[in-house]
Amino acid sequence: MANLKLVAGVLIVLVVVGAAIMIVMRGGEGETAQSPETPRQVVLLGSGATFIHPQLDKWAKEFTAIYPSIRIEYNPTGSGTGQTQFMQKVVDFAGSDPPLPASRWAEARGRPEGVIQMPVILGSVVIAYNIPGLEGRLKLDGETIALIYKGEIEYWDDPRIKALNPDLKLPNQKIVAVHRSDSSGTTHIFTLFLHKAAPHVWPKELVEKAIEWPVDKTGRGLGGKGNQGVVELVRRTSYSIGYVEYAYAVLTGLPWALVRNVEGVFIDATPETIMAAAENAYPLLPPSLEDDFNKAWEAIVYAPGKNSYPITSFSFLIFYKVYSPDKVDAIKKFIEWVNTEGQKPKNIVEGYVPIPESIRQYNLRALQLIKSSG
């Protein structure tokens, strides 16, 4: 009997050892039942500004390469639609060139999910043009641009344009003024610039994300959807002019004008001139990411300083303070990455400028504010 028990014991040991060996071998092939399961992919939905879209697209790709279980899907619908979808809780975050207007901000802040806004990138609006055969760089000021979009300057060789460009041979051709057809933060920036630079020509009533363009009444106005729509219309319409986000002009090779700033200097849009404008706005950022950002945003448009490009803007991402348990960690990782690795030169699309280190640290306060609903 004892021998039988001994044999049985040996067999049991051999079976156990054999099973252990099989587990180890399978573990080496990634098939062990004890290996952690592949995490379920989390999708973060965003909507809004086309202004930030090329940069956000770059960030999404680089971020997902580091965090493959998190996918960022962003629809460039325009700032107005993005804000609306955020308020309706259709998306997880919104992109917007201007921050939420005071009324929407107050409403969002009063909800259980709350609101956080942060400036994540610097960009600019350039005045692109298509003047066949023009040799030399066009120069414009706020008043002249405003008069073109009011429909009061009709021809390229108008004396008011010639006075700014005495060395250029301007054609006697009608100007076609291209603008956005959708609700747009780019339009808001552009019309705010026109009002600040030429308030006697461009009234406050014409400062908004979507307006009735006076030039349309003359038959010389065209509307395009998104920055890409405006770029395409300018490209294929001779003697046209249009306002577009700098990165879109760079990507398509469209020429753009030098624009006169507050100090009377004709300035090109460059990383240095965009940063110069931002430095004047930083002290006006509110104490908290939960506060109203409109004062700081308005200050950067037509900012003082000899080297400031006059149509510069922050572009914002807007988040809730409360997320579902399955998304809260993903949102925090995204915010942290955008304000650290995302600001490095290798992750910045040409035509945009990273935010200063001080603003990055300011934005990272969001990590302490955002909570789980569970």
Cβ-contact 258, 136 below 8 angstroms: no
Q: Which DSSP symbol is given to 315?
A: E
Tokens of 341: 């690795």
Same domain, 137 and 107: no
Structure tokens at 199: 């308030």
Residues comprising the chain, all counted? 374
Distance between CA 289 and CA 10 in Å, rounded? 68
CATH of residue 204? 3.40.190.10
Same domain, 77 and 152: no
And the tokens for 214? 């006076």
Same domain, yes or no, for 141 and 61?
Answer: no
In a domain, residue 282? The reply is no
DSSP 8-state symbol, 353:
B
Among all chains, which residue has been given the structure tokens 């998190």? 70
Evaluate whether 366 touches 336 at the Cβ level (below 8 Å). Answer: no
Structural domain includes residue 36: no
Range of the domain at 341: 42-122+313-372
pTM above 0.95, yes or no: no
Distance CA(52)–CA(245), nearest Å, equals 9
Distance between CA 271 and CA 352 in Å, rounded?
7
- Nearest-Å Rg of the Cα atoms of the chain is 27
315 and 59 in contact (C-beta within 8 Å)? no
Question: Within this chain, do residues 140 and 218 fall inside the same structural domain, yes or no?
Answer: yes
Q: Are residues 118 and 73 in the same domain?
A: yes
Number of domains in the chain: 2
Output the tens digit of pLDDT for each of the chain's 374 residues.
Answer: 444 444 344 334 333 334 433 333 334 333 333 344 556 899 999 999 988 998 999 999 999 999 999 999 999 998 899 999 999 999 999 999 889 999 999 999 999 999 999 999 998 999 999 999 999 999 999 999 999 999 999 999 999 999 999 999 999 999 999 999 998 889 999 999 999 999 999 999 999 999 999 999 999 999 999 999 999 999 999 999 999 998 888 888 999 999 999 999 999 999 899 988 888 777 888 999 999 999 888 889 999 889 999 999 899 999 999 999 999 999 999 999 999 999 999 999 988 999 988 899 999 999 999 999 98
104 plus 193 within the same structural domain: no
